A and B are shown apart, each in its own frame.
Chain A
Amino acid sequence: MASGALFTFFLNILSALVALLTSYYAYKAHRFIPNSLLWAISIGFMLLGLGLIVDAGTSLVTGRTLVESFSDRVLTLLASLSFLTIQMVAYLIMAVGYARAAFGNQAKTAAAPLALAGSALAGLYGYSILSYFVTFVLLAFIVFQGVLLRSGDKRGLSGMVLLAFALVFVAHLVFLVSVLVLGSGLFLIGTVVQFLGFLSLLIFVVRSEVVGPR
């Protein structure tokens, strides 16, 4: 198996575990503090975690075997399409959650048109470019909303969450470029940067859990 594929597999699995952990803690916090952003974070990270597991599985299969038969190619194609779609929907849900938190309910569809355009293109390559682009724009939106919300209240560990989203945003910029120039080395760099983003998120989740009573 190519070492790059194995490396991508492990980083994606670790990122998926952090995403699922964040989803669980957002769900737990939502039980105490009913808030639409927490709901969006919980659902979004759950989808993201599942998508990353699908992506990790795909990278493992394509790295281990030569995908030659028609059925294998169809399966790989479907897995890639599933991951890209799940990822886009996950970030869309989080972007809408952030929009609602920043502007109120009237802004709930602010990010939706960005993703709706994604279903227009056919073909995996075109779909990959478009979905990475849409995800990139959604992440830019999330980071912008995060900066807006943080500027109003700088308490707590919000800097770590912002750093996490910023790193995932940079990773998707690298992914987008790597898809455009078909560079597997760039894709690997993007995976590492994305993992660093999830690592920052993990530190935040752990630190928010260890706080005791005031």
Chain B
Amino acid sequence: MAQGEKQRSVLRINLDILNAVRDEGEAKPTHILYRANLSHERLVRYLDDLTGKGLIEMKQEGENRTYRITSKGVGFLIEMRRAESFVQGFGMAI
């Protein structure tokens, strides 16, 4: 397990992944892995979960696999940012 991962909630990890994918445009798993600070095995699980929910989509070209955020994913990030701002107002963190 990567250092610091233990303290992060599943929601926080998902947000880190989504932010990484959005910022990269077409994100390679290694880039997401670096940005989200996860082990490869766990990253695959999270990516599958986010793909299944329609928040990101996978593009396979030969050996290369990239991920891109969907419009649903962008909407989710905006709503999450608002919710995060709201909970921070009451002294909480995700």
**Interface set of A (CB-CB < 8 Å, partner B):** 25-26, 28-29, 31-33, 35, 37-38, 41, 101, 145-146, 148-150, 152-153, 155-158, 160-161, 204-205, 207-209, 211-214
Q: Are B81 and A211 in contact (CB under 8 A)?
A: yes
Q: What is the CB-to-nearest-CB distance from B78 to chain A, in angstroms, rounded to a whole number?
A: 5
Bound-state CA distance A37–B89 (Å) is 12
Cross-chain contact of A212 among B11, B81, B89, B93 (Cβ < 8 A): B81
Interface residue ranges of B62-94 to A (CB < 8 Å): 74, 77-94
**Interface set of B (CB-CB < 8 Å, partner A):** 11, 19, 22, 74, 77-94
Bound-state CA distance A149–B93 (Å) is 10
Q: What is the CB-to-nearest-CB distance from B25 to chain A, in angstroms, rounded to a whole number?
A: 14
- Majority DSSP secondary structure for residues of B touching A: helix
Bound-state CA distance A31–B76 (Å) is 12
Tell me the nearest residue of chain B to A201, going by C-beta.
B89
Going nearest first, the 3 A-B pairs with the smallest beta carbon separation are A149-B91, A156-B88, A29-B83
Q: Are A153 and B88 in contact (CB under 8 A)?
A: yes
Q: Are B89 and A152 in contact (CB under 8 A)?
A: no
Q: Are A149 and B92 in contact (CB under 8 A)?
A: yes
Q: Are B74 and A208 in contact (CB under 8 A)?
A: no
Bound-state CA distance A35–B91 (Å) is 12
